[in-house]
Structure formats: structure tokens, C-alpha cells
Chains A and B, each alone.
Chain A
Amino acid sequence: DAGVIQSPRHEVTEMGQEVTLRCKPISGHNSLFWYRQTMMRGLELLIYFNNNVPIDDSGMPEDRFSAKMPNASFSTLKIQPSEPRDSAVYFCASSSPAGAFFGQGTRLTVV
């Protein structure tokens, strides 16, 4: 298995632009998590899905952030409009009873 696949690995965008981060979970995993990591705030859970249904989105910072999981093999995290304070590494993880497995992350820089 290729593991959790995130794209792009790096994204640089201008303030105000829309940003879409993508995640392909491990096949057969029924939970998917989006995290944000910064030096200041550490690892923050933004939202997680179980069987493609959003269970808890209380970590989504504001309405500019949205996440979807249209099917079991794909999820997106969208920021519209983006701001410099959104600069961070965004991780996607999928889980089975054996544990949660992380992608390599997307490093987002908003200038």
C-alpha cells in the first residue's frame, strides 16, 4: 500500500486566493483526519470524518475553512480566501483499529 497520499507537497499562494489540499487515505480505512501544525500552536485537529461523514469540525478555525469527503478514497480541505496566518503544514491521516497513519503533509505558505 502506498500509504496516505497528500497533494501538493508544497503550495505557495497569494493572500486572498483559494487553496485546495487533497488527500487519498489508505484503502479500507474508515476514519480520516485533517491536522494543522505550526510552531506556535503545535498539532491541531481541524476535522475528522468517519465513513465519509464529518463527525467533529469544532477545530476548523473559521468559515474560510471547509472540508469534504465525497467518497471513501478522497478528501479535500479548502481555504477561501487564504490569509498569511494560514501558513502551516497540513496533515491528513487515515485510521484503522491498528492505528492512524499520516501523509507527508502539505506545506502551505500564504504571502
Chain B
Amino acid sequence: GDSVTQMEGPVTLSEEAFLTINCTYTATGYPSLFWYVQYPGEGLQLLLKATKADDKGSNKGFEATYRKETTSFHLEKGSVQVSDSAVYFCALRYLLNTDKLIFGTGTRLQVFP
């Protein structure tokens, strides 16, 4: 079945370090891919998305490229801030037919000054 696999956390970085959070997926069709962020005590917020192969989603300095050949959608940021500390979720979704949204387990990011 369809699934999303994320690297386990926590990921601990110093401010201004480079961030990569790995995400790979298994899908029977051609899903859209998403990254969501969850700050403490809040719901999930859409961070960025890509709807087809080779698309790059970007927002707030974060970016991720839809790689069909490696079934990956890794999240990157060139210089993290303390305020980026949160849990990041990778997800896939089919817009046609069922509109099912499947999440990975989440990766906690901790950024220290």
C-alpha cells in the first residue's frame, strides 16, 4: 500500500546550520507531495508542496524537490533558526478519486542558539 517514510529524529542543529530531513514514499499512482510543520501546542500547517515529478516546492527558506526516480521528497533549508524548531511531517495525497492524505511519522527538529 501507499506509505511515507521519514528519518527518525530528533534532528539537533545549531543556528545557521544546513538542514536536511529525508522523506521517501511508496505509491501505486502519481501523488502530490507535501511537507507540514507542527509547532508546539498547535495543529499542522502546510509548509510546501509539489504536484508532479521534478517540481520544487518552497516556502520560508525551505525547499523540497519531487524526485520520482528515487521516490523522495527531502526537505532542506540552508540556514536554520531557533524559531524553526518544530515537528515536520512529509505526506502524500491523491487528488483524484479518493483524496486520501497519508503522513509519515514526523521528524522533530531542535535548533539551538
Contacts and interface: CB of A to CB of B under 8 A. Distances in A.
Nearest to A99: B46
Contact of B89 (A33, A43, A55): A43
Contacts of A103: 43
Which of A45, A99, A101 has the most B CB atoms < 10 Å from its CB?
A99
A93 B103 CA distance: 13
Contacts of A95: 93, 99, 101
Main secondary structure of the interface of A (DSSP, over half): strand
A88 to B, nearest CB: 14
Interface in A18-66: 30-31, 33, 35, 42-43, 45, 48, 50, 55-56
A111 B42 CA distance: 23
A42 B105 contact: yes
Contacts, number: 53
Which of B34, B36, B43, B100 has the most A CB atoms < 10 Å from its CB?
B43
A100 B46 contact: yes
Interface string A49-86: 01000011000000000000000000000000000000
B106 A43 contact: yes
Contacts of A87: none
Interface in A91-105: 91, 93, 95, 97, 99-105
A91 B98 contact: no
Which of B49, B100, B102, B105 has the most A CB atoms < 10 Å from its CB?
B100
Main secondary structure of the interface of B (DSSP, over half): strand
Nearest to B99: A31
A77 to B, nearest CB: 15
Contact of A99 (B34, B43, B103): B34
A48 to B, nearest CB: 7
B43 A45 contact: no
B45 interface: yes
B95 interface: yes
B44 interface: yes
A99 B102 CA distance: 12
Interface string A1-33: 000100000000000000000000000001101
